Structure 1
Amino acid sequence: MSAIFTVAGKLVTLFIYVLVGYVVSKRKMISEGFSDGISRFLLVITIPCLILSTFETDYTFERLVKAGEVYVISLIIFGASILIGYLTAWIFRISEESKSVWIYSVTFTNHAFMGWAVMDAVFGGESIFYATFANLAFSTYAYTYGVWLMRSTGTEAGKKHSMKEYIFTPVNAAIVVGLIMFVFQLRFPAPVDNAVQGMSSLTTPMAMLYVGTILTKSSIKDVFSDWRTYACSFVRLVLIPLLVLVIARPLVHDPMIYGVLVIGHAMPVAGFCAIFAGEYGNDVVLASKFIFITTLLCIITIPIFVMLL
């Protein structure tokens, strides 16, 4: 029951952020340039800070071994989810210009903001340590393959990009620094740490505000009548977590790790989908629809998976 209330509370918070973004954009309280700048600010500042903050946790060898297990299995799940994204894009005949947004939406979940809250409510604070490494697998794909995916279509389609552009980014730099800090148990000085924590806490509100500003480009009726949002919701909220639930059961013996894997992949579409779509000239309106509808419908699906666990 606590998981249901946790999900409901997080949903209300997310929808308030979206509503504020929608209202301030609709009433022209912010410029279109400001809205577009949000995506760059998130990618360069707040997301790297979020990654750094997640690695500030205690180290033991036993925990590290289990965390490594979570990371490797999560890598496999995200890789399989990418393949499912391509397969379902073909099954549902998603257009070429929308395919990147579809695959990203199907693959990458709102792992940290919503997932961690549910895990904490169901399994306790210890689960967040392992969730950090599942989120590291998310980062490994989302900020490398995910960037390539979004750049392969949209306004940057056809442009040549060197591997340096995918590897040497603020996000990937934060992952490397975070891992070093975790292994050697390093910490920022208190003023710097407070700044990093403060910046990281801006990520979810600003991402959802951005979704709200994008939704003003489409009518409410269009948001709810687009059949693709419900097809994406089925794949993202039902099919993939159900496959994880069934396939991982005989392979993962630690109940907490098993729960972290299932819950992490039962979350709605990541807010970063709209950020990347906006940054690289993809269908940002469709991305925002996917985020909005899957976040709305997960109030039904997440408690079901919690009960199945």
Structure 2
Amino acid sequence: MPVDIFIKQIAILALVAMAGVIGSWTKIITTEVKDFVARLIFNITLPAMLFGNFSTLELTPRLLSNSFQILGLAAFVLAFMLAVGWITSSVTGISEDDKPVFRLHSMLGNTIYLGFPVIFTIFGREGLLYASLFTLVSNISMWIIGVMILTNGKKLPARERIMHIMNPNTIAIVAGFILFLSGFRLPGVIKEAVTGLGGTTTYLSMIYI
């Protein structure tokens, strides 16, 4: 991406975020409003953004190959970071009680879905595709491997793990990726409604921040 375009996109995000700051200063955006906006983003507009992004991408050999490479890369990176955390916790003075938490934090980043609108603004639909797939692997790892680490090998019931994994955004990613792989195209009216709703996420998330 050319530097001038990158700077322009960052400036737009900063201006929208400033509107949120002003709203907080003037008490227009209260804690209750922020809580409502967060629920609105997480449960409605962001899933629409993620699903709509998959529906607008055309399946090509390059995108298909890159998508599976991202899935494999995500698994490798998470496994590598877990191994680093395991080794580090074993050779340092970390207590046995703290080792599981340290290892888990070494594998999983403190990431939130609000990063998606920023990725979409800067890197476009293809960048959002790759970020979505990486997050999918990370979430699955968190609720399977992460839980096993924190519970010392004990497994949660499969139903409970699935309930944690399948939040609205994960469902949107899985459904969207299946749609993307199938090559099926949404009807024009539905596509515009979904992408239009999802398009509000960037501005809502910046105001929330």
Interval of TM-score (by shorter of Structure 1 and Structure 2): 0.5 to 0.7
State the partner residue of 1:133: 130
Structure 2 unaligned residues grouped into runs of 5+: 93-97, 147-158
Indicate yes or no: 2:21 matched with 1:16. no
State the partner residue of 2:68: 68
Question: For 2:111 and 2:21, how far apart are their aligned partners in 1?
Answer: 24
The equivalent position to 1:117 in structure 2, one of 115, 122, 134, is: 122
- Whether the aligned pair in 2 keeps the contact of 1:68 and 1:133 (CA below 8 Å) is no
Which one is further off, 178-187 or 2-11?
Answer: 2-11
State the partner residue of 1:58: 58
CA shift for structure 1 position 165: 2.7
Structure 1 unaligned residues grouped into runs of 5+: 121-127, 150-160, 212-309
Structure 1 pair 28–165 and aligned structure 2 pair: CA distance change class (3 A) = same
Identical pairs, percent: 18
State the partner residue of 1:186: 184
Structure 1 pair 64–54 and aligned structure 2 pair: CA distance change class (3 A) = same
Structure 1 pair 164–115 and aligned structure 2 pair: CA distance change class (3 A) = closer
Question: For 1:14 and 1:106, how far apart are their aligned partners in 2?
Answer: 19
CA shift for structure 1 position 81: 5.6
* Cα displacement string for residues 153-194 of structure 1 (whole angstroms, at most 9, x for unaligned residues): xxxxxxxx9323312321122122112211222222222211
- Whether the aligned pair in 2 keeps the contact of 1:85 and 1:107 (CA below 8 Å) is no
Question: For 2:206 and 2:85, how far apart are their aligned partners in 1?
Answer: 23
Structure 1 pair 110–31 and aligned structure 2 pair: CA distance change class (3 A) = closer
- SS of the residue corresponding to residue 172 of structure 1 reads helix
Which has the higher Rg, Structure 1 or Structure 2? 2
CA shift for structure 1 position 61: 4.6
TM-score, length basis structure 1: 0.48
The one-letter amino acid paired with 2:17 is V
The one-letter amino acid paired with 2:163 is E
TM-score, length basis structure 2: 0.67
Question: For 2:82 and 2:197, how far apart are their aligned partners in 1?
Answer: 30
CA shift for structure 1 position 23: 0.7
- Whether the aligned pair in 1 keeps the contact of 2:20 and 2:29 (CA below 8 Å) is no
- Whether the aligned pair in 1 keeps the contact of 2:9 and 2:121 (CA below 8 Å) is no
CA shift for structure 1 position 109: 9.4
Alignment: residue pair count: 184
* More relative contact order, 1 or 2 (CA 8 Å, 6+ apart): 2
The one-letter amino acid paired with 1:136 is L
CA shift for structure 1 position 83: 7.3
Counterpart mapping for 1:256-275 below 5 A? none
